[in-house]
Amino acid sequence: MRYLLRITALCLLSLPVFVLPARLGAQPPAKRLILKDGSYQLASQWEVKGDRVRYLSAERNEWEEVPYSLVDWPATEKFEKDRAHQPRSPEAEEVDREVAAEREAAEAKSPQVAPGLRLPEDGGVVLLDTFQNQSQLVELEQSGGKLNRNRKENVLKAAVNPAASSTQPIELEGLHAKVQAHVSLPALYLSVAPPENSDPTTTTPADRFRIVRMKSKSGKRIVAEIKVNFIGKVSQEETLVPTTSEDLTGGWVKITPTTALQPGEYAVVELLGSNGVNTFVWDFGINPSAPANPGAVAPQPAAAASDKP
């Protein structure tokens, strides 16, 4: 709504509209893709794909499409020519700065982890993989159930009670995880809301999230018999993969193994301090020869700005 109000105000003043990207100077100002009904879309760039025009929205920073036949190409070209010879006003400059600030704030919630790849704004757990020389993001789901789109808040939890028996293995059905990484050093990105009444002694990501190598037994994967004493200390450190952690913007945390992982099955476990271990885990495997992961997100190809061919 705020974008519409700004655009309307500028039109009443007969001023040109510019929307700058988050990184000032990295891309040209937004252009108007004018439609035959008189409306227009603010686009950083566009390209023609058959009978469709694919454009990068300057407002939403997402790729969208319109039918080629709906675009008023002469009006679009005329606007660009007129704008090139018209001086910019202070009001338009102020709108540019405000839009750029809002874009930067939005992108801070979705850090870029590889060219053309950004983490989802709504959080979750994702793995950065490389398949056929292409970087890809793959979402990891918790075992035992699926989550809705608000992945950051809706995390399944069921704790292993540290005061109970010391032999409480976490078991997963099947011998292989749905997601298989093709690289031996995958980066894992997590944005998960902390548990209620979380233990202050396990507030750092390095203590809260760990990677465990699983064992296969009787058609199941055994996460491990992770023993946690009554004060929340993990007593079987040898079952955990050494990792490093890095805080990112937007509440994201990057976890990376310190050494290459051998082919096999792994899981990200959440340690709940004195409350034990969350029995719902995020599982994945390491298999360089595995097929493509379903639902993997590939980089958004950059398209050069173009006019009517």
Report yes or no on 60 lying in a domain: yes
Domain boundary among 84, 108, 132: 108
Distance CA 295, CA 181 (A): 13
Please check whether residues 88 and 207 belong to one and the same domain.
no
Q: Order of strands across the sheet with 31-34?
A: 31-34, 40-49, 52-57, 63-67
> Residue 183 phi/psi, 5° resolution?
-120, 155
> One digit per residue, pLDDT tens: the chain, 309 residues?
444 334 333 343 333 333 333 333 344 567 889 999 999 888 888 999 989 999 988 878 789 999 999 999 999 888 888 777 777 667 667 756 777 777 777 766 678 889 888 898 888 899 999 999 999 999 998 875 232 333 444 344 444 444 444 445 678 889 999 999 999 999 999 987 766 655 555 456 667 888 999 888 888 888 766 565 555 555 544 478 999 988 888 888 899 999 999 999 999 988 776 666 777 889 999 999 999 999 999 987 654 444 444
Domain boundary among 88, 108, 128: 108
Report yes or no on 179 lying in a domain: yes
Please check whether residues 226 and 151 belong to one and the same domain.
yes
Number of domains in the chain: 2
pLDDT value of position 160: 45
pLDDT value of position 7: 37
Domain boundary among 83, 108, 133: 108
Please check whether residues 186 and 251 belong to one and the same domain.
yes
Please check whether residues 19 and 121 belong to one and the same domain.
no
The dihedral sign for the CA sequence 169, 281, 273, 245: positive
Which of 33, 292, 14, 47 shows the shortest CA–CA distance to 180? 292
Instruction: Determine the longest span between alpha carbons in the chain, in angstroms.
Output: 78
Local structure of 110: helix, strand or coil? coil
**Which pair of structure tokens corresponds to residue 231?**
């004060």
Report yes or no on 302 lying in a domain: no
Note down the domain range covering 10.
Answer: 2-108
Beta bridge partners of 52: 49, 67
Please check whether residues 59 and 158 belong to one and the same domain.
no
pLDDT value of position 191: 87
pLDDT value of position 226: 57
Please check whether residues 247 and 132 belong to one and the same domain.
yes
**Which pair of structure tokens corresponds to residue 102?**
């809002």
pTM, two decimals, is 0.59
Please check whether residues 148 and 220 belong to one and the same domain.
yes
CB 119 within 8 A of CB 34: no
pLDDT value of position 237: 45
Please check whether residues 133 and 281 belong to one and the same domain.
yes
